[in-house]
Chain A
Amino acid sequence: MRALRAYTILFFTISFAPIAVVVVFSFNTQRSLQRFTGVSLEWYRQFFESESLRGSLFASLEIALATTIVATTLGTLLAFGLVRARARWTPGLNVLMLVPLVTPEIVAGVSALLLFTQVGLRLSLLTVVLAHITFSISYVTVVVRARLAALNQEVEQAAMDLGATRGQTLRLVVLPELWPAVLAAALLVFALSFDDFVLSFFTTGESPQPLPVRIWSAIRFGVTPTINAIGTLMLVVSVVSVALAVALPRLLGRRESGVGVLLAREAA
């Protein structure tokens, strides 16, 4: 038991160490990644002064936002259909929805690239958004579906029985019970899109490029603290999104936390 505990502590140290190093050295006064000579915001300054890097940051945020809005809408509707419809093609659609989750990213990237080029669409922010949406829908569907399946259908029937049309039932009865799952899914999609590299790599245009693609290009040229700064910024966005996804549902008065909502996907 003590050996295990020691090992676990060691494990945590080693798994946080690289990230800690990245963050720490982003504040380094000098260019070195070996010696820490003092605290400075030089590299952040360079980042924010670079118009193209700023452009990439905003591009990543815009892409993430657009992806979140569309994927959450489509995914929620899809979850509805999969849980409630008794159409012949529902099982097939279910499979179609699950496959993107297990598709290797490189396969996803190649297929997206081919689609856009063969159709004649020029690669740009739009193509990145389209690709991101495609591979985010499934995450939303899985999370929302788990919550939806747990809802008591009789409550919706009661609403209709009392005179609410389908639209009103949706708005007044279902949505209040569903929104924690939808919110958690949306934040998850935001984080995934903002962090995405492979898909963006294959579908991005010349400029602006999403931030992870910029990091990739920069690393090819060599390691500099500016990259540390970019990495740290990205880290903050990711961690905050995921933390919100986990904490918000609980904070806003629901019984379960986002973890429960997100992990209900195990059941699905």
Chain B
Amino acid sequence: MSEEAVRFEGVSKRFGETVAVRDLDLTVARGEFFSLLGPSGCGKTTTLRMVAGFEEPSSGRISLEGRPMAGVPPFKRNVNTVFQSYALFEHLDVRGNVAFGLKRRRVARPEIERRVAEALELVRLTGRERARPGELSGGQRQRVALARALVNQPAVLLLDEPLGALDLQLRRQMQVELKAIQREVGITFLYVTHDQEEALAMSDRIAVMDAGEVQQCGRPQEIYERPEKPFVAGFIGISNLLPGRTEDGGVRLATETLCPAAHDCAPGTEVQLSVRPEHVVLDRASGIPGTVAERIYVGTATQLIVELDGGARIVALTREDWEIGDRIAVSWRAEDARVLR
């Protein structure tokens, strides 16, 4: 069996004048929890739909388990989707919903019963076989959608922002459960979300997308700690992005300060210097001078927005007590700053 669950080769999708997906080259390994992460309209859902078979690529090739899928309709593909709206069959009960795919494949009756029971147990809905979707809560409906897809043991499970409609607590809980289920059944998950915390928490690898293109693809830690583009740095977590020009050994900011940083650009290139708030060191005197403009308490720490004398604004994280209006100085280690273009 192929080690690749899904492979995208030069895949593009155009809708009339709009390019939704541009030159996508990605490989999703078997058994991986792979996320497509990005803001609305970045093309992640379109990509998912192309894998499911609801859209055909305008150009390029998509292969499933090594086999090209051009022209293959959804009902012939060995993938299943968990839709954002769950899309349950309201006129069937839970059992009818979950058994639907198996019935289409003419699986034997006793086998269907067994597998449905297994699937319901997996999503912890045993005992609710006879319930109608209308009687279930949002979280329960979501589990039915999951069971309905998983019971068919597809090569890839496609999930389109499945947790979007749930409240925060339930979402966090489901994230943990989903990850556990994925590990247990070993099926490749292709997961679409705009919530970067969710992606970081659940994925083996993430592809960050914007405007139809993949900006960066890698493991969560890499994406977070070593963003390669300003967009990625800004989208994942909070990042300070300071515009400046490269010089030998560093970046000269608009504040005229020279910040040491590693880069391989020609001198004079316009770049963005990226520093995460948690890496910003605060001091009374040593560093770039500025004033505390805002204080935002976020529970685990306090966010400070510092207005630098040169005009830029920096977000920093601290447990210390600073007041609005305090004079303050910011600095960071050279290795914590990244030069991005």
Chain A residues proximal to chain B, CB less than 8 Å = 152, 154-155, 157-165, 168, 173, 176-177
Contacts and interface: CB of A to CB of B under 8 A. Distances in A.
B105 to A, nearest CB: 6
Contact of B87 (A158, A163, A168, A177): A158
B104 A164 contact: yes
Interface in B69-90: 73-75, 79-81, 83-85, 87-90
B148 A162 contact: yes
Contact of A152 (B81, B85, B149): B85
Which secondary structure characterizes the binding site on chain A?
helix
Contact of A158 (B53, B73, B83): B83
B101 A162 contact: yes
B101 A157 contact: no
B91 A168 contact: no
Nearest to A154: B87
Contacts of A176: 91
Given A157-B83, A160-B75, A165-B75, A173 B104 contact: no
B196 interface: no
Which of A152, A158, A162, A173 has the most B CB atoms < 10 Å from its CB? Answer: A162
B91 A177 contact: yes
B85 A162 contact: no
A65 to B, nearest CB: 28
A104 B141 CA distance: 51
Given A155-B88, A158-B87, 8 more contacts: A152-B87, A155-B87, A157-B74, A157-B87, A158-B148, A159-B89, A160-B54, A177-B91
26 contacts: A152-B85, A152-B87, A155-B88, A157-B52, A157-B54, A157-B74, A157-B81, A157-B83, A157-B87, A158-B81, A158-B83, A158-B88, A159-B89, A160-B74, A160-B75, A161-B52, A161-B74, A161-B79, A161-B80, A161-B81, A162-B75, A163-B75, A163-B101, A163-B105, A163-B152, A173-B89
Contacts of B91: 176-177
A233 B279 CA distance: 89
Interface residues of B, number: 24
A168 to B, nearest CB: 7
Contacts of A168: 104
A160 B83 contact: no
B224 interface: no
A157 B149 CA distance: 13
A162 B80 contact: yes
Nearest to B52: A161
Contacts of A162: 75, 80, 100-101, 104, 148-149, 152
A164 B75 contact: yes
A173 B80 CA distance: 17
Which of B53, B80, B87, B105 has the most A CB atoms < 10 Å from its CB? Answer: B87
| 6 closest residue pairs by CB, A with B | A163-B104, A162-B101, A158-B87, A154-B87, A160-B74, A176-B91
A51 B143 CA distance: 66
A159 to B, nearest CB: 7
Given A165-B75, A177-B91, A159 B100 contact: yes
Contacts of A154: 83-85, 87
Which of B52, B79, B104, B152 has the most A CB atoms < 10 Å from its CB? Answer: B104
Contacts of B105: 163
A166 to B, nearest CB: 8
Contacts of A159: 89, 100
Which of A163, A176, A177 has the most B CB atoms < 10 Å from its CB? Answer: A163
Contacts of A177: 90-91
B276 to A, nearest CB: 38
Nearest to B79: A161
Which of A152, A158, A164 has the most B CB atoms < 10 Å from its CB? Answer: A158
A164 B85 CA distance: 19
Contact of A155 (B89, B101, B149): B89
A48 to B, nearest CB: 44
Interface string B104-121: 110000000000000000
Contacts of B52: 157, 161
A168 B54 CA distance: 17
Contacts of A155: 87-90
Contacts of B148: 158, 162
Contacts of B88: 155, 158
Given A154-B83, A168-B104, A161 B75 contact: yes
B235 to A, nearest CB: 27
A154 B84 CA distance: 9
A165 B53 CA distance: 13
A178 to B, nearest CB: 11
Nearest to B73: A160
A173 B148 CA distance: 15
Nearest to B85: A154
